[in-house]
Amino acid sequence: MSGQAANTTTTAALDAARSYYTHEIELGVDRYLGETSTVCPWCGSDRLRHRTTCRDLRQFKPGRFNLDECRDCKHVFQNPALSDEGLGFYYRDTYDGLNAERAEANLGSMSEIYRGRASTVADHRPDRPRRWLDVGTASAHFPAAAAELFPTTVFDGLDMSDGVLSGHRAGRIQTAHQGQLPELSASLAGQYDQVSMFHYLEHTRDPLADLDAVTQVLTDDGWLLIEQPDPQARSARLFGSWWAGWNQPEHLHMITLDNLTSALEERGFEIVEVVHREAHIPLEAFIVLATLLNRVAPGEEVPWRDGRPPRFAGLRRLVGKALFAPFVPVARFVDRVVLPRMLRSYHAYRILAHKKVA
Ligand SMILES: [Zn+2]
């Protein structure tokens, strides 16, 4: 495609997107919020407290999202939660559409992180998994990286998005399952001796239903590897509503390690290993810095922002970058040294569990 043709396509896509967003925003984004729950969705307690209120700091789409915390079990959840239509509005052009290329490049550049995750299984499974299902696989870059450690394992992927189909076309997985795990689990019962869920459960509407489903999908002595952001990380308090782990409005449930451990044990799993330090993703302070830059000097025109791009947008971005550049090494130091080593604050936790033979 010639440069000019590509530009025309982009402009057409941007115009189409603008008419969609303008219409949706005029109707009011509050209509995307459901009923406020008076009880904890994890344990049923009515002892809730307000934890924080966030905005969409990734794309700056309009809206405010309230997170409540259960005083009894410490579960943190979006309350009121977005409707399916609302989630559609906020997910749109995040991993697909206008942002598809960038999202794909990001996911494709994380091989080292993926190999680290796979190594937790390698440490405990000299038998090597036979069939491995990666749930929430997106375009299946994790299976491709993990295959380097497990060349004889058959990898499949499951995801709601079309990405799982492109992952299959690219040969990164043998079978693509498109859809929701709880809806597909009956047809996949007992087929996998290894399942992984990386930064997945926090996106689901009913994580306990997903845990039931994954229990069904696993063989009787199957293994489950889960990683997700830790709502009890010190950085979550330090950065408040700007903590990257909240990732609003996508994350509906922020599950504590204790709650996940109990839920797995109730389903017949034994906890084999819990990983903190190696699950830390050292980007929290950097993301705060990048968010600030994007706020004061947006990088590009987006169709959900009102009116024309600000005057001298290009120049502002350039000056903004120059002003922020000296703080980048500081943010890196906070992420790599201050948080994990000095404060023992880790962005995420990873848990490897083994299903006991019934
Ligand atoms: Zn609770």
| Residue range 98-129, pLDDT digits in tens | 888 888 888 778 889 999 999 999 999 999 99
The verdict on 226 and 303 lying in the same domain is: no
CA 61 vs. chain centroid, Å, equals: 18
Q: How far apart are CA 75 and CA 43, in angstroms?
A: 8
pLDDT tens, residue by residue, 14-57: 888 889 999 999 999 999 999 999 999 999 999 999 999 999 99
- Separation of 240 CA from ligand 1 center, angstroms? 21
Residue 328 lies in a domain: yes
The verdict on 214 and 147 lying in the same domain is: yes
The verdict on 300 and 319 lying in the same domain is: yes
The verdict on 197 and 211 lying in the same domain is: yes
- Separation of 39 CA from ligand 1 center, angstroms? 8
Average pLDDT of the segment spanning 158-183: 96
pLDDT tens, residue by residue, 49-105: 999 999 999 889 999 999 999 999 999 999 999 999 999 999 998 888 888 888 888
- Separation of 9 CA from ligand 1 center, angstroms? 49
Q: Which residue has the tokens 């604050």?
A: 345
**pTM of the full predicted structure?**
0.93
pLDDT at 7 over 70: no
Q: Where residue 215 sits, what CATH number does that domain have? A: 3.40.50.150
Instruction: Place 1 in a pLDDT band, splitting at 50, 70 and 90.
Output: very low
Write the CB contacts of 102 (distance below 8 Å, at least 6 apart in sequence). Answer: none
Which of 61, 180, 193 is CA-nearest to residue 121? Answer: 193
Q: Tell me phi and psi for residue 225, to 5 degrees.
A: -120, 125
Write the CB contacts of 136 (distance below 8 Å, at least 6 apart in sequence). Answer: 158, 159, 197, 198, 199, 200, 203
Q: How far apart are CA 76 and CA 83, in angstroms?
A: 18
Alpha helices, DSSP H, located in 159-229: 163-169, 181-184, 207-217
The verdict on 329 and 219 lying in the same domain is: no
Q: What percentage of residues in the chain have a pLDDT greater than 90? A: 81
- Separation of 230 CA from ligand 1 center, angstroms? 16
- Separation of 245 CA from ligand 1 center, angstroms? 19
- Separation of 259 CA from ligand 1 center, angstroms? 9
- Separation of 291 CA from ligand 1 center, angstroms? 31
- Separation of 78 CA from ligand 1 center, angstroms? 13
Instruction: Place 3 in a pLDDT band, splitting at 50, 70 and 90.
Output: very low
pLDDT for the residue 356: 86
pLDDT for the residue 325: 94
- Separation of 89 CA from ligand 1 center, angstroms? 29
Bin 89: left if φ > 0, else alpha if -120 < ψ < 50, else beta: alpha
- Separation of 214 CA from ligand 1 center, angstroms? 22
The verdict on 266 and 146 lying in the same domain is: yes
- Separation of 41 CA from ligand 1 center, angstroms? 7
- Separation of 42 CA from ligand 1 center, angstroms? 5
Q: How far apart are CA 186 and CA 100, in angstroms?
A: 31
- Separation of 354 CA from ligand 1 center, angstroms? 25
- Separation of 75 CA from ligand 1 center, angstroms? 5
Q: Using the 8-state DSSP alphabet, how is residue 48 labeled?
A: E
pLDDT at 353 over 70: yes
The verdict on 225 and 324 lying in the same domain is: no
Q: How far apart are CA 57 and CA 294, in angstroms?
A: 9
For the sheet with 192-198, list strands across it. Answer: 175-178, 154-159, 131-135, 192-198, 218-229, 348-355, 269-275
Total of domains in the chain: 2
The verdict on 274 and 136 lying in the same domain is: yes
Per the CB < 8 A criterion, the answer to whether 118 and 145 are in contact is yes
- DSSP strand pairing (131-135 vs 76-78): unpaired
pLDDT at 5 over 70: no
- Separation of 248 CA from ligand 1 center, angstroms? 20
Q: Which domain holds residue 288?
A: 284-339
- Separation of 258 CA from ligand 1 center, angstroms? 11
The verdict on 272 and 294 lying in the same domain is: no
The verdict on 312 and 231 lying in the same domain is: no
- Separation of 7 CA from ligand 1 center, angstroms? 51
- Separation of 97 CA from ligand 1 center, angstroms? 37
Extract the tokens encoding 253. 């449930």
- Separation of 77 CA from ligand 1 center, angstroms? 10
Max CA distance (Å), the chain = 66
The CA-atom distances, in angstroms, between 92 and each of 59, 99, 107, 277, 285 are 10, 9, 17, 33, 26
β partners of residue 246: none
The verdict on 163 and 150 lying in the same domain is: yes
Residue 167 lies in a domain: yes
Crossing angle, helix 313-324 and helix 284-296, to 10 degrees? Answer: 150
- Separation of 53 CA from ligand 1 center, angstroms? 19
Residue 68, SS3 per DSSP: strand
- Separation of 43 CA from ligand 1 center, angstroms? 4
Extract the tokens encoding 314. 């290009």
Residue 295 lies in a domain: yes
- Separation of 232 CA from ligand 1 center, angstroms? 14
- Separation of 81 CA from ligand 1 center, angstroms? 16
- Separation of 37 CA from ligand 1 center, angstroms? 12
Euclidean distance between the first and final Cα of the chain, in Å?
A: 58
Instruction: Place 2 in a pLDDT band, splitting at 50, 70 and 90.
Output: very low
Residue 104 lies in a domain: no
pLDDT tens, residue by residue, 131-165: 999 999 999 999 999 999 999 999 999 999 999 99
